[in-house]
Each structure stands twice: as structure tokens, then as C-alpha cells.
Structure 1
Amino acid sequence: MLNDPRSHGLWEKTAPPAPATQPLAGDRQADIVIVGGGFTGISAALYLAQAGRRAVVLEGAEIGFGGAGRNVGLINAGMWVMPDDLPGELGDVHGERLLDLLGNAPRLVMELVDRHGIACELERNGTLHCAVGEAGLKEITERASQWQRRGAPVTLLDAVETAKRVGTAAYAGSLLDMRAGTLQPLAYARGLAKAAIAAGATIHTMSRVVGCTHSGSQWTVRTDGGSVTAPWVIVSTDAYSTGPWESVRREQVHLPYFNLATRPLSSHLLSSILPGREGAWDTKEILSSFRMDRAGRLVFGSVGALRNTGRAVHVAWAKRVLKRLFPALGPVEFECEWFGKIGMTDNALPRFHRFAENVVGFSGYNGRGIAPGTVFGRTLAQLVVGDISEADLPLPPTDPKTPALRSVKELYYEAGAQIAHFAGARF
């Protein structure tokens, strides 16, 4: 997007076209202004339009420009935090609410895809969290036990079964989560936008918000081309926040993440590497993820940015790792490459912010934006129309706070990933 082939890579190459939109021009009235055209903002717009509200989305670039269009495409249930730890972090009420909401969030994504006929390469065969060594096996065993006590359809697989499903004997076991799946994330974002527009929402792209003022019960949100005035504002810009709500970006430590896509594999390779089309990732601290797209490309990713010296280091490392994991691949060449940034909060959990009266938003998805973004968009719509109150939300309100040494940590993550990948998987 915006003439950058490394921003959205394979997803931009294979997604259906975005619905036609125009920059905001002139002054408009609405019931709700939504800032940000990713999963959360578009989901909120869809539900608000279906409820008969005039919802206007202002997107600074294009639909799915931020994390929504750059990620791996895993529809995960829950967050990185262990299920039993959430009540300790959020209290019993909010902890259990968030577990229930996010545990069922992939189902909502799949229902929306079905209901609106969204062409996004949806796969419903679950995900595999792959254990590296005994420490990794211990981690996924405990995670499986905690989810199983809550009735979740998760299964702990041994090394033999994992090897059959993944196509490599590199892992000590895996956690199969049948709530989850994969999709083409940019195609999903564009499909949601098409559904929202059909329901009556208005989406303005290339409409970066530069200011927001309050008068009486109304908020006026301004772009370079015009303004929208409404009693409610939903902020859904997350890790890519700028302008009036840049505090959301400052609250997060950016973790760069890249993806590389091979050319479509042969039918023989597809019968042995992820034959069930599950999405997968491992338990390493600097993790790797891998999945197939509908055409049979292997999409492989890890922490790091494909810029400056990082590109050569990470691409070379990825080729070494894939050679070790899947020797039958032979020499690996990548058809597409792209990267983005994950917004990490200090406790790896999302946030609900009340920035001012009737100005609200969720953020801090910590690399798990598809299902949480979709369900949080619906939750914000329910709050705005009065179906729920703030007391019913899955998170308590907090004020954005900038973590100590944020910029230093971001430099450390990018440089550290290069150092680790430069030395990693060498023979």
C-alpha cells in the first residue's frame, strides 16, 4: 500500500479489491465518528449501521492499512496470558468476562465471514501451538489444562501426532485449539468494510484526523479535507495511532514482525507440510509462525523488521530454519515479504480507555488483533447504542501511561532479533 511492497506483501497481492471510498470533503453530521479502519473500527461501524446509527469511519490511509492488513492471519482464542492469570491481573469479574469473550471471539469472526459471504480464505481447522523442548512442552501442557477446565475444545498432542500435522519432528508436542483457524487478514478487513457500507456506514479513506474539539454534547473530528460532528467518538487506531490520540501508541512498546511467503508448493509437499491447513507458531521467546494460504504458499514469520541490515539477516535466517524444519522444500525462494509492528502492553493484555466523555476505545492487542478486534468493535457498538453500560465491559477503564524506556526497548527488540537471527539455525 502507498507504493510500499513491504507493507502488506502477499495479502495485498491476493486480496479482493477494497470497496470504493473517498477522502472526507466538507463538514458532516453523524451519530458516531470512528477513527481507524481496521478490524475494531470496521466491526463497530458494521454493528452500529445495523442498529440504525449513522456511523462515519475516518481512516488515515486505506482500509486495513495498520496491523489488520499486515499480520499472520491466525484467528486466535484468548491472549498470551495464561487463562488462570487473568483474574489476578484484572480481578475476578473482568478476568472471567475477558476470558469468555475472547475465548469465543473466533466463532464471531467465522459467523461474520459466513453471514456476509466474505472471501478471505477462511480455514476452520484450528491452530497448533508447537512446543520447543521440555520447557515448551511444560508451557503448553499447563495452558491446555487451564483451558480444558473451562470446557474449551483444546487437545494436547504428542510429538508423533504433532509431526504428522506439521510435517517436521522438531517439536516435543503441540496444543491444538479447535476454536481457532486462519484467514487472509486484509481480505477479511476489506470484506467487513464492504458489509459495513452495505449496512449504511460511511467510510472515508485517506482522511487522517488532525484534531478533535468538544462543544456542548458534540465532538467535531477534523481532517485536512473536512470534519464530522457527532455525540460519540470511537478511537480504534491502536499501534498505529497518531494525532489527537497518540497516547495510545505511546502506551505500547512496538515489536516488529515480518512475514515471508514462498511460491505455491507442489501437491506432494502440501500433503506433508501442514496437510490440515492449521496455523502454527512455536514457544520460543523470539517465536516463529507458519501457515499456508489458499494457493499453497507457506507463510513464515518471526520478530524483526525487513529494513536496513535487518532484511538480509532475517531472510537468510528464515531460509536456514525452513531447510532444517522441512528439508523436502529444497532451496527456498520467497515470492513476497512484508512487516509491521505489534503494540505490546506492559502486561500483554488489552486496554479500555475513556479518553473523555463519550470518547472511548479498545487497544493493545499484543499481536492478536483479528478475533479481539472484531469482538471489541461489536462491544463498543453495544456501549454506544446503550445495550450495555460501562459496568458491563470486559475491561475496566484505565488511563494511557507511557512505559519506562519505551524507545530503548523498541530499539532493543529490533536489534536483538537481528542478532538472534544472525546466529540462529546455523549448521
Structure 2
Amino acid sequence: MSLANTSSSEQEHVNSYYAASANPAPNRPALVGEFQTDICVVGAGYSGLSTALHLLERGYKVAVVEGAKVGWGASGRNGGQIVNGLNASLDTIQKRYGDEFAGFVGGLVTEGGKIIRERISTYDIKCDLKEKNVFAAFTQKQMRELEAKKALWSKHGMNDHEMLDKAQIATYVKTDAYVGGLVDHSGGHMHPLNLALGEAAAIEKLGGKIFEMSRVISTQKADADQLVLTDQGQIRCKTIVFCGNAYLGDASRKLKSRVMPVSTQIMATEPLSDDIANGILPTDTCVEDVRYILDYYRLSADKRLLFGGGTVYGGTDPADIVGKLRPNMLKLFPQLANTKIDYAWSGNFALSFSRVPQLGRLDNNTYFAHGYSGHGVTGSHLFGRILAEAIDGDMSRFDVFSSVPWIPFPGGRLLRVPYSTMGSWYYALKDKLGI
């Protein structure tokens, strides 16, 4: 759903468990009239919040303009898992772009998680941070893939991974479905909306300005400055950073075709008893399996099972989220057959065709970051730092990412959805057949 077509009621947070358990936050004003600043960041999700916070820490004047509420999009709806890496594996990146770029990526893929922890610690953000994440395998083929992943990551200096056999994975997740897995001791999980709200509060603490309910219509040059135009006002600035991702809408038509919105769904059970919660996830670690269309889940602070999965290319919401997710949950945990589902919601992430995030410039003073392809929690925090470095004059890491060629979706915007859907069917069939 593009913000260009949403009403004011639709710009409030969706009816999710995260919105229902969010920390108190102010209603920030809409942009009315003209506001002047050094840098205008478009989008108050993780990318925009991370960029703005890094820039403010470097002494810049920054305003963030958001078409809905802070964390309204994927940043406030996601699975809350701190998973290191990009959607495209290091092996894929190495084959596609060469050893040098793979080595560069391998040296920084854990940085996003470290930034999140730094933010939580520095700004005292209350977001239920918990440690570790588990990758779960259904087949021996998937176990071999995890072993290769561990070896490759170790080659790049990442030694926080530990292989788990069937008995060992049962200490993390109580189900007979898995043959083993891998635990990343540097992973983790948290309340994603409360992380975003805490970062927004940190921005304001440092003197930054956030405007909500201010959809960006267009941008234009104004002598040496740039103007960011909204329904009721404009921001005059030197530099613009587009961080709208799947919800950028028409704010930049040049970026719209570079990514495709893809929806994923999550549901939250009623609070579970200690016995049931411990009988599912005894170490309170988050889990995701390693299929192409995967399931991911974890316990909330009040011991609900948050269970997500599924994809819909094009970003539409399925008619029955619970009907789609519940069968997969019960295959893993049949003891939850009579458990009530209190919340179910959907949200979009931005998919790039290469599954590698895109970082670049539209001109000398207009930057962008998007296309995390389902791995945006850590990637967005990392890219926010790299964008701030570039704007501050250090282009070294920015130039490496911006030099990666953008690959358009085959068939353009018209055929990208059916093309990607057919591809997902193919890989889902391979998962099902174990090949």
C-alpha cells in the first residue's frame, strides 16, 4: 500500500501486538509552512532513523519527514529478529560480484546488530532485547548448507556460529520437525516498534525534528537548496536522503521501479503459561527455518508466540492471515491447537531483484537506501551509518555499495510480480521435495 493512497486513519499503526504494547510516544506535528535544515530524511523507519541519528551525532541539523507515524511500515511490524547478513548469501555474493566485494560485505555484516545494541545502551531504549538466534533445518541437505555457511562466515572472521544436531537444537526449540540447525550467538530479538520509537526519541533529544502525517509529494531544486514538498508545507535543505523503502510511494519516481513491495504476515497468540512457553522455546531464543519461503517465530516479553511467514509479491494482504499461518505453527507445535490468536497483521518489505540492498545517489545531494529484501533490521542500521559517513565526506564504504550494478526486474513493473511469484513456486517446490 502506497502512502499516496492512504487516509489519515490508515496512517495510524496497524492493529498489531507491537502497536498494542508500544511504549508511550508523543503525537508529532505535521509539517505546515516552511522549515529549514541541513538535511531532510524522508521516512521514519529504521533506515531514516539510523541515518538521522548518526548525522545528528556528527553535528548536523536534521529533519525527518514521515507520511504516517514513526515506525509505521516494516520497522514497526517485522519479526523483531536481529539476523546478521543480507538476503543474498555471502556465497551468492562471491559468485556474482567477486572475492573483493564478498570480503568487504563479510567484514561488515555483523555491524548492524552492534549498532542496534549501541543505540539501546546509549539511549536507554526499552525494547525487550534478548540474545541469540537459531537457523533450523528440516533436511540433511539444509544441514550441509548451514555447515557451508558457518565455514564461509568463519573465513571472514565471524566465529559466533555453532552447529546443532537434533538433540542440541531441541534445547532451543521443542519440536520433532528439525534434524538440526545452527545458532548465531551474536544474533538476537527485540520489540521492533519500541526500538524505532526509542531511536526517534533519541533524535529529538539531540535536537532533530520529526514531522509525522506529512506525505512527501515531490522534491525540486531551489537555487543552491533543495525543497521537499508535502501536502501542507516544505522543507528547505542542502541534502535529501530517501529512506521510504517499500512505502516510498511517489516521493521519488526514479526509485519506485527499483524495488518491489512484498508482504509478510505475523500473528500473536494469547499469553502462554510458563509451562507451555518453556515447552516450546526453553531458552527464549528466536528461530527461523532455512527454506526459501520460511517461518520465523519467537516469544514476546509477555510470553506470546509471535509466528510469522509467507510472502505475497506486490505487497497485497492475504484475506485470512491466521488461516495462512496457523497450520504451519501447528505442524511445529501441535500442543497449541486450542490457543487463541489475539493479533494478526501484515506488512511490506522492499525486494530488490539481486536480493542485495541498494545504496546510491540520484545527484550530488540526493541519497537513497532501500531493498533489504527481508533482512532490513540490521541492514538498515548499517546503511544509516554508511549514508551519514558519505554525507560527512567519507565516501569509502558508500562508494563500494553504490558501485554494485542495479539489476531491474525482468519484464519491468508490469511483469515483476508474476515473474517473482513463479520463481517462489519453483523454490518452494524444491524445499518441499528436499532437493
Report deviation, 1:309.
Answer: 9.3
User: What is the SS of the residue equivalent to 1:319?
Assistant: helix
Q: 1:310 to 1:236 in 2, by over 3 A?
A: closer
2:3 corresponds in structure 1 to none
User: What is the SS of the residue equivalent to 2:226?
Assistant: strand
CA contact (8 A) 2:360 2:401 kept: no
Of 94-103 and 35-44, the range deviating more from structure 2? 94-103
CA contact (8 A) 2:269 2:306 kept: yes
Q: 1:157 to 1:335 in 2, by over 3 A?
A: same
Q: 1:284 to 1:85 in 2, by over 3 A?
A: closer
| Distance in 1 separating the partners of 2:150 and 2:92 | 14
Q: 1:310 aligns with which of 308, 318, 342?
A: 318
For structure 2, list consecutive stretches of 5 or more residues without a partner in the other structure: 1-7
2:194 corresponds in structure 1 to 187
Superposed CA offset, 1:366-417 (max 9, x none):
111111111211221121122x125654403467664123444435767999
1:358 corresponds in structure 2 to 365
| Distance in 2 separating the partners of 1:309 and 1:355 | 31
| Superposition map of 1:38-117 within 5 A | 38-117=45-124
The one-letter code sitting in structure 2 at the alignment partner of 1:128 is: V
| Distance in 1 separating the partners of 2:222 and 2:169 | 59
Of 161-170 and 75-84, the range deviating more from structure 2? 75-84
Of 289-298 and 8-17, the range deviating more from structure 2? 8-17
CA contact (8 A) 2:11 2:213 kept: no
| Distance in 2 separating the partners of 1:166 and 1:121 | 20
Q: 1:382 to 1:198 in 2, by over 3 A?
A: same
User: What is the SS of the residue equivalent to 2:109?
Assistant: helix
2:356 corresponds in structure 1 to 349
2:140 corresponds in structure 1 to 134
Of 127-136 and 395-404, the range deviating more from structure 2? 395-404
1:147 corresponds in structure 2 to 153
2:284 corresponds in structure 1 to 277
Superposed CA offset, 1:269-305 (max 9, x none):
1222112121111122221111111110001111146
| Distance in 1 separating the partners of 2:16 and 2:177 | 28
1:319 corresponds in structure 2 to 326
Runs (4 or more) in structure 1 with deviation over 6 Å come to 306-309, 412-418
The aligned length equals 419
Mapped pair 1:383 → 2:390: yes
Of 298-307 and 351-360, the range deviating more from structure 2? 298-307
TM-score normalized by the length of structure 1: 0.90
Percent identity between the two aligned chains:
27
1:260 corresponds in structure 2 to 267
TM-score normalized by the length of structure 2: 0.89
User: What is the SS of the residue equivalent to 1:127?
Assistant: strand
| Distance in 1 separating the partners of 2:95 and 2:419 | 29
Q: 1:150 to 1:304 in 2, by over 3 A?
A: closer
CA contact (8 A) 1:351 1:397 kept: no
User: What is the SS of the residue equivalent to 1:16?
Assistant: coil
| Distance in 2 separating the partners of 1:316 and 1:44 | 38
Q: 2:417 aligns with which of 394, 410, 416?
A: 410
Q: 1:216 to 1:3 in 2, by over 3 A?
A: closer
| Superposition map of 1:385-400 within 5 A | 385-386=392-393, 388-389=394-395, 393-397=399-403
Report deviation, 1:227.
Answer: 1.0
Report deviation, 1:223.
Answer: 0.8
Let me know the Cα RMSD of the aligned residues: 2.7
The one-letter code sitting in structure 1 at the alignment partner of 2:145 is: E
Mapped pair 1:368 → 2:364: no
User: What is the SS of the residue equivalent to 2:339?
Assistant: coil
Superposed CA offset, 1:225-269 (max 9, x none):
111111111111111112242443321233220001101111101
| Distance in 2 separating the partners of 1:229 and 1:276 | 50
| Distance in 2 separating the partners of 1:92 and 1:308 | 38
